[in-house]
Structure 1
Amino acid sequence: MPIIVDREERRAHVVEIAFDLVADQGIEALTFREIAAAAGCSTSIVSHYFRNKNELLFRVYQLANERANARMAAMRDQGLPLLACFDAILPVSPQAQANWRVWLAFWARAHMEPAYLEERRSAAEGALALYRALLAQALGQDADDPALELPARRLLAAVAGIGLEACFAPEDWTAERMHQVLGVVLADLGVHVAG
């Protein structure tokens, strides 16, 4: 009797392995051979799920965005204070740090390749909508209030800047410093930040 393999589950497993390899070694070091070795399968199995490296890499980039949004939404759903919710995005945990390494690895592609640029725009729009909803909840306002657009964009830019700086100077940008700086931004936006 043949072994039944869940195609989507196997494909997702390959993407997760590729994600970890990109986070640890970068895009250029990633090969189907390396993925196959890490997955304990042959390169033909990897190529069965992905036509080429570019298709797999694009899926890795999408996964980074999906994971970040899922972590952020989960923290929001737990009812955590707004500042704590941003630990899902800021590079304070191993998962978020891996996400940042993957994002950084793909930034040149997002600048040069239309598919990556569109994915980046889509992810930014999703983050902006989430940040607007979080601000609305923290400020007791309606999420559709147009007045929240600029504060949400300011928050998006602050989180991106803090995360980027923390990637390049982690000894200077500790979790405490990230929280302090983001806390100032949130306070400037009218959000009460305990501490």
Structure 2
Amino acid sequence: MPKQVDHEQRRSEISRAVWQVVGESGLEGLTLRAVATAADCTTGMVTHYFRDKKALLAHARSVMHRRMATRIDALPPRDTPRETLYAVAEQALPLDDERYLEAVVWSHFQLATRTDPELLHEHTVSHASWVRRLTGLVRAACPQQPEPADLAWRVRTLVACLDGLALNAVTDPDAYPPDLQRHVLETQLDLLLERNHSL
């Protein structure tokens, strides 16, 4: 009788191997063969789940998005909407090894979307989800009610700040240590949540 294969378990094992390869060799080393070696399986087994390097990269980006969402959902309650916004936004910054690796994947994925409509679509969907989450948090944290007319603009400036910090911290980590990243985020929120916004 043929051996039963747990496809979800096998996919999970290959997914872990993808992150292992990225962690050890970067996106440049992310190949089907490298993932097969890390997963202790054949290249043919990897291609059964991921047809090429682009699919591996898309999967790594998807896993990154889920990991970040899981961390955010597990955050303990904060005392104020401002503190909640900060805690969530901070999850997008490479402040530790896990988030640094995620930022590496994110930065490579961003570049890949420039020439690949399929990857661009995946980015657009996940990015829109992130913007929606931040919009609700910024709305709750703004001191004025009803919400400010420029709410969408405020959210976009926060997203731009987070993306810029993450990219710079990945490319020049000594110049953008965690304490500086946190300070920049705090300053950005001070400006963002001003009653009379003047940025």
Q: TM-score range by the shorter chain?
A: 0.7 to 0.9
User: What do residues 13-54 of structure 1 show as CA deviations (whole Å, max 9, x unaligned)?
Assistant: 212311331343233322222212211222222222223333
1:177 maps to 2:180: yes
Write the letter of the residue equivalent to 1:79.
P
TM-score normalised according to structure 2 size: 0.82
1:98 maps to 2:101: yes
Change (3 A) 1:154 1:28: same
Asked if 2 retains the 8 angstrom alpha-carbon contact of 1:136 and 1:142, the reply is no
Partner of 2:134: 131
Report which stretch shifted further, 176-185 or 5-14.
5-14
Question: 1:59-70, aligned counterparts within 5 Å?
Answer: 59-70=59-70
RMSD: 2.5
Write the letter of the residue equivalent to 1:168.
T
Residue 2 (structure 1) shift: 5.3
Residue 146 (structure 1) shift: 5.6
Give the match's secondary structure for 1:137.
helix
Q: Distance in 1 between matches of 2:33 and 2:147?
A: 48
Partner of 2:25: 25
Give the match's secondary structure for 1:70.
helix
Give the match's secondary structure for 1:28.
helix
Given candidates 127, 152, 156, the residue that maps to 2:155 is 152
Write the letter of the residue equivalent to 1:55.
A
Q: Distance in 1 between matches of 2:146 and 2:133?
A: 9
User: What do residues 136-194 of structure 1 show as CA deviations (whole Å, max 9, x unaligned)?
Assistant: 23236789876421111111111111111211221221211111111111011227xxx
Residue 105 (structure 1) shift: 2.1
Partner of 1:190: 193
Residue 60 (structure 1) shift: 1.6
Paired residues, number:
189
Partner of 2:36: 36
Asked if 2 retains the 8 angstrom alpha-carbon contact of 1:137 and 1:143, the reply is no
Give the match's secondary structure for 2:51.
coil
Report which stretch shifted further, 50-59 or 157-166.
50-59
Residue 123 (structure 1) shift: 1.9
**Where does structure 2 lack aligned partners over 5 or more consecutive residues?**
195-199
Question: 1:47-58, aligned counterparts within 5 Å?
Answer: 47-58=47-58
TM-score normalised according to structure 1 size: 0.83
- The ranges of structure 1 where at least 4 consecutive aligned residues each deviate by more than 4 angstroms after the TM superposition are 140-146
Q: Distance in 1 between matches of 2:145 and 2:14?
A: 41
Write the letter of the residue equivalent to 1:41.
C
